[in-house]
Amino acid sequence: MKTKLLSVALIAAAFSGGIFLGKGGSNDNFVINNGGGASYAGGYDKNAEQQNSGNSPVSARTVEGKTHVVKDGSSIMEAVKLAEPGDTIQVMPGTYHETVYIDKDDIHLIGVIVEGKRAVLDGQGKLNDAILYSGNNVIVKNLKITRYKGNGIMGQAGNNFEISNNIIVDTGVYGIFPQLGKNGLVEYNIVSGISDAAIYIGMSDNIQVAHNEVFDSVAGIEIENSRHAIVENNMVYNNTGGVLAFITPGLPIKTTFDVIIRNNFITNNNTPNFGAPGSTVAGIPAGTGILVMAADEVIIEDNIITGNKTAGIVITDHENAPNVTIDPESDTKPDKVMILNNLMDNNGYDTLDEVKALMLSEFKQGKPDIIRVGGSRDSCIINRHQYVTVGVDNWKECEFTNTDSIDTYILDEPVPARVIDPSEKGKIAYLGICAGCHTYTGRMIGPPVQIIQALYMDNPEGLAEFIANPTKKRDDYPEMPPQNYLDAETRLAVAKYMLHVKK
């Protein structure tokens, strides 16, 4: 696949006078030791939201629910349907051909590994996604997932999630894709053979991606339109691009900031790009270790970045990235990028012609470790003399040398449960549902509330029962449809509310 990281416009700009490639950096020969120096404070103030301690993002259970054991030959989904919040589903070794969707809170889906044998979800190249969840406090653990067309594990707005110890092989578009969630952990997974990102954090907050092994995919780990994310201690190799921090324009959440990429092995990401035409990753040049596109406050620290043939680190704005649309509501520039100590070696040994041209504009040659194209404000770097760089000569020195004071962005106290206060339930159901057909005094589709009050004033239970299973009572009104989709608590709450409204 032909790559074209750098647009013609950019090259022209570079040669026309190096607008943003100024020569600067008075501290070129000053070696900074990152042990014991000032520490970066991070962009997320935990104390602003809550305190206390705890490691897992998933809410601790006060009472353990039932355990459902799924054996080879039976269905995981049947167990999910039976499960109540608080239950655990244990999946025994075997092969399962199904899509598992969890639209409930607090479900733990755990594979049981017996002498190395796992529960295998096999989509046989026909099924779409293996696991979909939208509930809070969902755990997906110890599974093996293969041959799905879509995603291995996909979260849609579930908070407090943990996805760990899974093996995901040759499965579709994304291996692990929590989207629109807050407070989640993705760790100890092995993901390979993915046609987009092996691990993709989309439009999420407070995320930890750690101790994963990702390889043979187009992108290894992607942090997109997300905030307060740490990517650490991962092995990322033989992908087209290793670790990405992106703002993708056109998405409804517009920012990426406060992303720490540290202590990862990011090596030999030279696999030819096999992304789907038109996908954002399809424009990534093979041989990119870390790619920062438009994301702000990205810290790159203590990674081993070697053998990536285009460059170790590429930083670009939207204007210079291929395949990217524009978004009037997105800031296109990667600002406040911070490059601390990293071990970089043997990168850029087969880089793009455009990069070579850029290097010439700075009178440089050799194998580039770090390439910056397009605008970037308030970025910094330490020990720049160690690397072959383009476009960072005028970056200032960072005022800190490490991120040691930031342990994790996982919340100490999980995102609160989605509990609706019973008194609120009554009011909301009355105004949102009952009021569509009943008014206090007048005739609408149903009889006036005054008449209902006269009938049921001391009997909210009777009214709650009636709305679950209405019978035709009045010839001159249509029969009421059952409101049994409201749970019993809500039905009683709305009955009480209706019996006490005054106008």
Region 94-113 residues binding other proteins, contact defined as CB under 8 A: 99, 101, 103-104
Q: What residues between 223 and 262 interact with other proteins by CB under 8 A?
A: 227, 248, 250-253
What three-state secondary structure class fits 320?
A: helix
- Separation CA 329–CA 308 (nearest Å): 33
Assess contact for 268 and 237: CB atoms under 8 A: yes
Assess contact for 7 and 322: CB atoms under 8 A: yes
Among 58-66, 260-268, 321-329, 351-359, the segment contacting other proteins (CB under 8 A): 321-329
Please pick, from the candidates 9, 41, 82, 326, the single residue that binds other proteins as defined by CB under 8 A.
Answer: 326
- Separation CA 244–CA 259 (nearest Å): 10
Q: Which of 182, 183, 201 is nearest to 191 (CA)?
A: 201
Task: Please state, as a whole number, how many other Cβ atoms lie within 10 Å of the Cβ of residue 164.
Answer: 20
Binding of other proteins by 279 (CB under 8 A): yes
Q: What residues between 380 and 409 interact with other proteins by CB under 8 A?
A: none
Question: CB of 41: closest distance to other proteins in angstroms?
Answer: 22
Binding of other proteins by 451 (CB under 8 A): no
By beta-carbon proximity to other proteins, the closer residue of 324 and 359 is 324
Question: CB of 418: closest distance to other proteins in angstroms?
Answer: 5
**At a CB cut-off of 8 Å and minimum separation 6, what does 502 contact?**
440
Laid out side by side, the sheet with 143-146 consists of 94-96, 119-122, 143-146, 167-169, 190-192, 213-215, 235-237, 265-267, 304-306, 343-345
By beta-carbon proximity to other proteins, the closer residue of 233 and 323 is 323
Please pick, from the candidates 16, 51, 278, 472, the single residue that binds other proteins as defined by CB under 8 A.
Answer: 278
Question: CB of 94: closest distance to other proteins in angstroms?
Answer: 22
Using the Cα atoms of residue 360, residue 362, residue 367 and residue 373 in order, give the sign of their dihedral: negative
- Separation CA 369–CA 244 (nearest Å): 16
- Separation CA 317–CA 130 (nearest Å): 35
Please pick, from the candidates 37, 65, 150, 422, the single residue that binds other proteins as defined by CB under 8 A.
Answer: 150
By beta-carbon proximity to other proteins, the closer residue of 275 and 312 is 275
Instruction: Return the biggest CA–CA distance within the chain.
Output: 93
C-alpha distances in angstroms, 435 versus 358, 393, 455, 479, 483?
67, 66, 18, 16, 13
Which DSSP state fits 395? P
Binding of other proteins by 420 (CB under 8 A): yes
Binding of other proteins by 9 (CB under 8 A): no
- β-bridge partners, 191: 168, 214
Question: CB of 175: closest distance to other proteins in angstroms?
Answer: 11
Binding of other proteins by 74 (CB under 8 A): no
Among 35-43, 265-273, 319-327, 403-411, the segment contacting other proteins (CB under 8 A): 319-327
Site string for other proteins, 347-386 (x = CB under 8 A): ----------------------------------------
Assess contact for 330 and 254: CB atoms under 8 A: yes
**At a CB cut-off of 8 Å and minimum separation 6, what does 74 contact?**
none
Q: Which of 280, 261, 284 is nearest to 271 (CA)?
A: 284
Q: What residues between 463 and 492 interact with other proteins by CB under 8 A?
A: 484-487
Number of residues that bind other proteins (CB under 8 A): 72
By beta-carbon proximity to other proteins, the closer residue of 23 and 418 is 418
Binding of other proteins by 431 (CB under 8 A): yes
Please pick, from the candidates 179, 267, 351, 401, the single residue that binds other proteins as defined by CB under 8 A.
Answer: 179
Assess contact for 308 and 242: CB atoms under 8 A: yes
- Separation CA 313–CA 297 (nearest Å): 15
Please pick, from the candidates 304, 435, 455, 501, the single residue that binds other proteins as defined by CB under 8 A.
Answer: 435
Binding of other proteins by 82 (CB under 8 A): no
Binding of other proteins by 433 (CB under 8 A): yes
Binding of other proteins by 151 (CB under 8 A): yes
Question: CB of 172: closest distance to other proteins in angstroms?
Answer: 7
Assess contact for 62 and 86: CB atoms under 8 A: no
Among 201-209, 303-311, 393-401, 468-476, the segment contacting other proteins (CB under 8 A): 201-209
Binding of other proteins by 423 (CB under 8 A): no
Binding of other proteins by 173 (CB under 8 A): yes
Binding of other proteins by 169 (CB under 8 A): no
By beta-carbon proximity to other proteins, the closer residue of 291 and 380 is 291
By beta-carbon proximity to other proteins, the closer residue of 327 and 465 is 327
Strand duo 396-397 + 380-381: pairing: parallel
Question: CB of 75: closest distance to other proteins in angstroms?
Answer: 13
Assess contact for 197 and 453: CB atoms under 8 A: no
Q: What residues between 106 and 145 interact with other proteins by CB under 8 A?
A: 128-129, 132, 134-136
By beta-carbon proximity to other proteins, the closer residue of 356 and 427 is 427
Question: CB of 173: closest distance to other proteins in angstroms?
Answer: 5
Cα angle 389-235-191, degrees, rounded to a multiple of 5: 125
Question: CB of 310: closest distance to other proteins in angstroms?
Answer: 22
